[in-house]
A and B are shown apart, each in its own frame.
Chain A
Amino acid sequence: MARILIVEDEILIAMLLEDIVTDLGHDPVGPMMRLQTALDAAEREAIDFAILDINLAGQQSFPVADRLMRRGIPFIFASGYGQAGLAEAYSTIPVLQKPYDAAQIARAIPADSTGHSR
């Protein structure tokens, strides 16, 4: 079981992702629906993996990505835009296009990430 940070500003999608993560047997952190709460969580919470919506109520979640990278926590982006709209610095980070299913999320979570935060 991994602790997975969910950053998603759309209420329905946040609920869906929370369910998916839970169903996969992981422990969701969040959903964080605004940039500031996401930043705080990325800084303080014990996390093994994160799923970041790129656009957060008109702001981009890249500062959250930067904190995760600094902490060495793997993550993916989820976005309606797909690969487009991604800054150069994050070109190596996988992007999951919405809508996605549980299998895609499962594949994105690295097998060895489980439990590192404990």
Chain B
Amino acid sequence: MTPLNHPGADPFYFLGHDGSVARLVKDFPWGTTCLSRVETWPQSLKTATALLIHSPVPMVMLWGEQGVMIYNDAYSVFAGHRHPALLGSNVREGWPEVAEFNDNVMKVGLAGQTLAYQDQELTLHRKGYLEQVWMNLDYSPVLDESGRPAGVIAVVIETTERVLAERRNRQEFQRLQSLFAQAPTFMAMVSGPDHRFTMVNPEYNKLIGNRDVIGMPVREALPEVTEQGFFDLLDHVFTTGEAITRTSLRVLLRWRDQGPLEERFVDFVFQPIRDQDGTVAHIFVQGSDVTERVRAENHQRLLINELNHRVKNSLAAVQSIVTQTLRHATDTSQASQAITARIMALSAAHNVLTQENWDSADLRTLAQTAIHPFQAPDRQTFDLDGPDMRVGPYAAISIALALHELGTNAVKYGALSVPGGTVLLRWNVSGKSVFNLEWIETGGPLVTKGDHRGFGSRLILQVLPDQLQGKAELDFRPTGIVFKLTAAVDAISDHAA
């Protein structure tokens, strides 16, 4: 072993180092290169060589026009099978696959300029095959005694592993993103204590009205949601690390600036995502917009309630028919017939309304249905005359019941009790707001005033005009009875008076 730092004995004393490359440097026949024998080396070359030999960072010096290579132990690892033949070679020949790149390095460096590359991609042959590598490369000129650039020194940090890892992460992220993008549910990732959006998928975008929220804290991105307590839920997940799940939760979203609040219902989970040391760093938001389902359920509940209401009302109406018919009945078989006929009349009116969704009924259809049981089979007994008009559901039932009572009376005692008798039913609207309906019997026997307290009389003369905010009168003419009803058009349409 050569004693160190002994100028007399060893021309390589300046290296002050005996690592493996240092020994190679000492043994190398520098006389065969343009550097010539070490004894002739300028001090600048010696100093620079010692500097790089001592460095733990991979470094290489390219000396002279040819770029003769001197490097350290760390660089020898990087050089792979190229080492040790690489030592003392001209850089363009030593790395023929990147000769062009190094040619530029030499030109720039020897002109006194520096060069820096981050994650520079190169294809190198150093393990017996061509491989793609990435490096951070920093080149600076080395000045000789006269102050002119005589070589280029390079710090070579290989970043291949990091670049590939990042690339894998990016690919993984993109794969997840494409999964998220195709997901039928909404997904978003919020990060940090202020819940900043770092990812949203198209379904989430749709939910929030396509607002650009990436990079924004939830509080700023969706201010209306913050007011509804969602921010507190996120805070809870972030601080406790407990996931939160909600179903059919109502949320009001402002899809457009200054626009109205849109009501949506959502099922969702806020899932905490922990980093390596176990603290919550992100919250994954995932869920479904179930607005249509919730509305359908609400609608169904409404329909069931409405149906129940109708059923109960119908039962009460039947109860009323039965009670009042029996109250005035003298014999049970007649009462039974009357009850059945009245229930049938009510049912027929319901049918007309059901066809129209219980919205309103066409008066002519309603009247035709009501008089149908009293129509003689062999001749035209009714004449209907009036404009097309619609009546509200409550008025419709009352009018149908009134026509039933009038028809029953006509068949029993009036015009329809004899052959040749007829009924003219006519209606019109006079002025703008007065509805008139007339039931005019002709060709029947002389009818006298009967029991005014019966169910029929009470219905057509008292309750009906009360309901329709009008007047009703029954006229016993020699030609037959005439019933006249005048009412407010608004009341006929069930519009608020």
Contacts and interface: CB of A to CB of B under 8 A. Distances in A.
Contact of A98 (B312, B394, B464, B467): B312
B59 interface: no
Contact of B469 (A19, A34, A80, A82): A34
Given A11-B459, A34-B469, A99 B321 contact: no
B461 to A, nearest CB: 12
A99 B320 CA distance: 9
A34 B309 contact: no
A10 B466 contact: no
Contact of B305 (A11, A35, A37, A81): A81
A115 interface: no
Given A15-B458, A57-B394, A33 B321 contact: no
A13 interface: yes
A13 B282 CA distance: 63
B438 to A, nearest CB: 20
Given A31-B463, A81-B305, A81-B309, A16 B394 contact: no
Task: Provide the main secondary structure of the chain B interface.
Answer: helix
Contacts of A10: 313, 316-317, 394, 397
A117 interface: no
B187 interface: no
Contacts of B464: 11
A12 B313 CA distance: 10
Interface string B102-142: 00000000000000000000000000000000000000000
Interface in A32-90: 33-37, 55, 57-59, 79-82, 84-85
Given A31-B466, A33-B467, A13 B313 contact: yes
Interface residues of A, number: 30
B436 interface: no
A87 B321 CA distance: 31
A37 B469 contact: yes
Contacts of B346: 12
A80 B316 contact: yes
B401 to A, nearest CB: 6
B265 to A, nearest CB: 21
Given A16-B323, A57-B494, A99-B319, A33 B313 contact: no
B316 A57 contact: no
A59 B496 contact: yes
A35 B469 CA distance: 12
A77 to B, nearest CB: 13
A14 interface: yes
B312 A33 contact: no
Contacts of B491: 34
B494 A58 contact: yes
Contacts of A13: 313, 316-317, 320
B392 to A, nearest CB: 7
A37 to B, nearest CB: 7
A86 B311 CA distance: 19
Contacts of A15: 320, 324, 455, 458-459, 463
B466 A98 contact: no
B398 interface: yes
B295 to A, nearest CB: 19
Given A81-B312, A98-B315, 4 more contacts: A13-B317, A15-B455, A36-B497, A84-B305
| Minimum-distance CB pairs A-B, first 7 | A16-B320, A80-B312, A80-B309, A99-B316, A12-B320, A98-B316, A33-B467
21 contacts: A10-B313, A10-B317, A11-B459, A11-B463, A11-B467, A12-B316, A13-B313, A15-B455, A16-B323, A16-B324, A19-B324, A31-B463, A33-B467, A37-B469, A55-B309, A57-B394, A57-B494, A80-B311, A81-B305, A81-B308, A98-B312
